[in-house]
């Protein structure tokens, strides 16, 4: 699809009573046929509803370079840099793994890059012949997070068992986040047991996501985060529209309902967890 123009943005939700962090967003990505959003306008809209800070995640070299540049310009942002699991086989095929890793490591030394991610495994979009390159890349990023003392953000698509196995084999960094958590109750319990953080995205609001809501329901507040993964995964009732950090309150309120907790308590926990992971900014 192209030339579709921009879809009408959903209206701003009611502001949150206590500010929270969008733990994972992509300010440099646009959906098909749309323009990349204006970063200042995105931040202003989010600030207005109680989401004054966000973590910008770079997924490949151009995106990681953008991340370092944009966090220098906007105090509301921290950064994450990595080579996405779908990028790993491509880099290996063209013999660019070493040079790409060197640059990621250099960009990761920026004091406001506080995340190594997103890395991990994606068995949905990568064929079997790319799995070895992905796993090798995941192991390298785990080691980088440990060496730099930064938080690891893990992408896991249809790869739950191998993600957990490799984290255990390598020894997970002190701060490990499963971004856009997509596991079931058993996996949530295992992650909590290991001290990982579970970051919930708009998917938890989807009508058919009962299993995911059950997983959320057994996760203690100390292990919870919220994110958009914008411009994707727009929460209900705006599924299909373009996502943006200002829609975080919809996901937070849905999470509070699942957890049978009040919104201010959940916001307090979410904010404290983000600061524990990334430090103040």
State which residue has the least CB distance to Zn ion: 229
Burial class from Cβ neighbours inside 10 Å (0-12, 13-18, 19+) for residue 150 reads buried
Question: Measured from the CB of residue 57, what is the shortest distance to Zn ion in angstroms?
Answer: 5
Q: Is 200 helix (H, G, I), strand (E, B) or coil?
A: strand
How far is residue 241 from each of residues 9, 41, 99, 235, measured CA to CA in Å? 7, 17, 37, 9
Interface with Zn ion (CB under 5 A), residue total 1
Query: Helix 160-170 vs helix 185-193: angle between axes, to the nearest 10 degrees?
Result: 10
Our CB check for Zn ion shows the closer of 60 and 229 to be 229
Our CB check for Zn ion shows the closer of 212 and 259 to be 212
Our CB check for Zn ion shows the closer of 242 and 259 to be 242
Question: Measured from the CB of residue 178, what is the shortest distance to Zn ion in angstroms?
Answer: 12
Per the CB < 8 A criterion, the answer to whether 133 and 88 are in contact is yes
Question: Measured from the CB of residue 58, what is the shortest distance to Zn ion in angstroms?
Answer: 10
Our CB check for Zn ion shows the closer of 81 and 259 to be 81
Q: Choose the stretch contacting Zn ion; rule: CB under 5 A; options: 206-214, 215-223, 226-234, 244-252.
A: 226-234
Q: CA nearest 212: which of 251, 168, 244, 249? A: 251
DSSP 130: G
139, two tokens: 């192991």
Q: What span, in angstroms and rounded, lies between the C-alpha atoms of 157 and 159? A: 5
Which residues have CB under 8 Å from 254's CB, separation 6+?
204, 205, 235, 236
Question: Measured from the CB of residue 26, what is the shortest distance to Zn ion in angstroms?
Answer: 6
Question: Measured from the CB of residue 95, what is the shortest distance to Zn ion in angstroms?
Answer: 26
Our CB check for Zn ion shows the closer of 43 and 57 to be 57
Q: CA nearest 150: which of 111, 100, 198, 101? A: 111
Our CB check for Zn ion shows the closer of 139 and 157 to be 157
Residue labelled with tokens 């191998």 = 162
Question: Measured from the CB of residue 153, what is the shortest distance to Zn ion in angstroms?
Answer: 8
Q: Residue 22, interface with Zn ion (CB under 5 A)?
A: no
9, two tokens: 């943005």
Q: Choose the stretch contacting Zn ion; rule: CB under 5 A; options: 200-208, 212-220, 227-235, 250-258.
A: 227-235
Residue labelled with tokens 């990505």 = 29
Q: Choose the stretch contacting Zn ion; rule: CB under 5 A; options: 13-21, 123-131, 224-232, 247-255.
A: 224-232
DSSP 175: S
From residue 184 to residue 223, the character string flagging contacts with Zn ion as x (rule: CB under 5 A) and all else as - is ----------------------------------------
Question: Measured from the CB of residue 175, what is the shortest distance to Zn ion in angstroms?
Answer: 18
Question: Measured from the CB of residue 23, what is the shortest distance to Zn ion in angstroms?
Answer: 10
Q: Residue 156, interface with Zn ion (CB under 5 A)?
A: no
Q: Residue 229, interface with Zn ion (CB under 5 A)?
A: yes
In the complex, the residues that contact Zn ion under the rule CB under 5 A are: 229
């Amino acid at each position: 699809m192209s030339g579709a123009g921009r879809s009408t943005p959903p209206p701003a939700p009611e502001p949150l009573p206590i500010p929270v962090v969008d733990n994972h967003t992509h300010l440099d990505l646009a959906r098909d046929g749309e323009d990349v959003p204006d970063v200042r306008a995105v931040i202003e809209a989010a600030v207005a509803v109680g989401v004054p800070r966000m973590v910008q995640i770079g997924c490949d070299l151009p995106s990681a370079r953008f991340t370092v540049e944009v966090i220098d310009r906007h105090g509301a942002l921290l950064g994450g840099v990595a080579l996405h699991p779908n990028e790993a086989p491509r880099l290996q095929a063209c013999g660019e793994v070493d040079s790409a890793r060197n640059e990621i490591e250099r960009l990761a030394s920026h004091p406001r890059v506080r995340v190594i991610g997103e890395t991990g495994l994606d068995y949905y979009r990568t064929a079997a012949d790319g799995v070895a390159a992905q796993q090798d890349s995941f192991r390298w990023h785990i080691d980088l997070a440990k060496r730099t003392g930064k938080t690891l953000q893990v992408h896991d698509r249809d790869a739950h068992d191998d993600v957990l196995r490799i984290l255990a084999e390598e020894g997970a960094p002190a701060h490990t986040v499963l971004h856009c958590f997509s596991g079931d109750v058993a996996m949530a319990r295992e992650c909590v047991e290991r001290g990982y953080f579970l970051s919930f995205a708009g998917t938890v609001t989807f009508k058919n996501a009962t299993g995911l809501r059950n997983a959320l329901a057994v996760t203690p507040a100390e292990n919870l985060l919220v994110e958009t993964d914008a411009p994707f995964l727009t929460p209900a009732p705006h599924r299909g529209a373009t996502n943006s950090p200002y829609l975080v309150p919809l996901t937070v309120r849905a999470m509070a309902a699942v957890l049978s907790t009040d919104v201010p308590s959940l916001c307090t926990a979410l904010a404290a967890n983000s600061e524990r992971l990334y430090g103040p900014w």
